[in-house]
Amino acid sequence: MLWLLFLTLPCLVGSVPVIPDPGLGTEGVVSERDVPAGKWPWQVSLRVFNKEHDQWLHECGGSLLHPQWVLTAAHCVGLGVLEPHKYRVQAGQLRLYDHDHLHKVAEVIRHPNYNVSRSGSGGADIALLRLEAPVGPSERVRPVSFAPDSLVLSPGTLCWVTGWGTFGAQAPPAPARPLQEAEVPIVENRVCQKIYSQGSPAGGHVIKEDMLCAGRRGRGSRQGDAGGPLVCYWLDMWIQVGVLSWGLASGHVDYPAVYTRVMTYSSWIYQHVPLWP
C-alpha cells in the first residue's frame, strides 16, 4: 500500500546550542515513552482547519529553521494556489492539541521544481513557511541547524526522525498523542532504489539525487509525519539532513522512508531565510 504521506548559512550551522546526544550508536529504535521537553525543540505541527471537528488539525510535521521560518514538505501545502491563511503552526508541543497556541502563516514558498501531479516521488518536495511573528526561543522552542551542501552521509549513519505518527487532517483528532522518536540508519540511494524496484506495487518510483533514504529492516519511519525532520548528530550539534517525503508500506518488503535531501536545497533556503545568530 502506498503511503505517500500527504494523507498520511549563517543562521544555520552553529546557531543552536548543543543538545545532549540521546544515544547515537545504540540499537534502540522507537521510543514509546514521552519525549522529554526540549529534546527536539525545532519540531512543529502544521495545522489545517477541519470544519467537521471545528478545529485546527495536525496535517504534517515541520521544523523551525529560524524564529519566523518553518521547513516542511511541498506536498503538505496544497496542490493549487498557495494560501497562507489556510495554515497554522504549533511549536514547542509534546502532545498534540495540548494547550494549543497556534501561529499564523504569512507566506508559503514551495520549491519551483516541485511537480504537483507527482507529489513527493517527483522530487523537490520542500517548502518554506514564514510566520506572521517570530516564536521562541525558549527551552521548548529553538531552531535547528541544517546541513551544509558539502556534507556527505555515509550509509549506516544513525539519525533520528520525530513526529506524532499521524496521517493528515482527515483523521480524527487524537488528544494528548505524544511526540515519538525513531533512530534510523541512512540507506545508500543505490540500495534504496534496488529495494523499491523489487516487487514495488507502485512501480516506476525512482530514488532521485535530491532524495535521501533512511530506515532499518522491520522498522520504518512511519512514527514520523510527512514534512517532519530527519536530524543527525554532527560536529557536536544536531543538523537537519532530511524532510520526510514519501515511501511504501508492504507486509512483504521493508521499504526505507524517503526524505528530501536538505543539502541539495541549502542555497535555495538561503535565498529566503534571513540570518539568525
pLDDT of res. 3: 39
Q: Which domains does the chain have, with CATH numbers?
A: 30-272 (2.40.10.10)
C-alpha cell at 115: 511537480
pLDDT of res. 147: 87
pLDDT of res. 119: 83
Q: Is residue 268 exposed (0-12), middle (13-18) or buried (19+ Cβ within 10 Å)?
A: middle
Please choose, from the candidates 8, 1, 26, 2, the residue with its C-alpha nearest in 3D space to the C-alpha of residue 228: 8
**Positive or negative torsion for Cα 90, 144, 114, 111:** positive
- Mean pLDDT by groups of 10 residues along the chain of 277 residues: 34 32 34 71 95 91 97 90 93 92 97 88 94 92 91 94 71 71 93 82 76 75 78 93 87 82 95 82
Q: Alpha carbon of 230 to those of 52, 72, 104, 261: distances in Å?
A: 32, 11, 24, 10
In one-letter notation, the amino acid at residue 154 is S
Please choose, from the candidates 130, 134, 2, the residue with its C-alpha nearest in 3D space to the C-alpha of residue 69: 130
The helix/strand/coil state of 235 is: coil
Please choose, from the candidates 185, 224, 192, the residue with its C-alpha nearest in 3D space to the C-alpha of residue 208: 192
Q: What is the 3-state secondary structure (H, E, C) of 33-85?
A: CCCCCCCCCCEEEEEEEECCCCEEEEEEEEEEEECCEEEECHHHHCCCCCCHH
pTM for the structure as a whole: 0.85
Please choose, from the candidates 266, 2, 271, the residue with its C-alpha nearest in 3D space to the C-alpha of residue 119: 2
pLDDT of res. 47: 95
pLDDT of res. 71: 98
How far apart CA 121 and CA 260 sit, in angstroms, is: 10
pLDDT of res. 148: 87
How far apart CA 242 and CA 237 sit, in angstroms, is: 16
How far apart CA 276 and CA 65 sit, in angstroms, is: 9
pLDDT of res. 109: 96
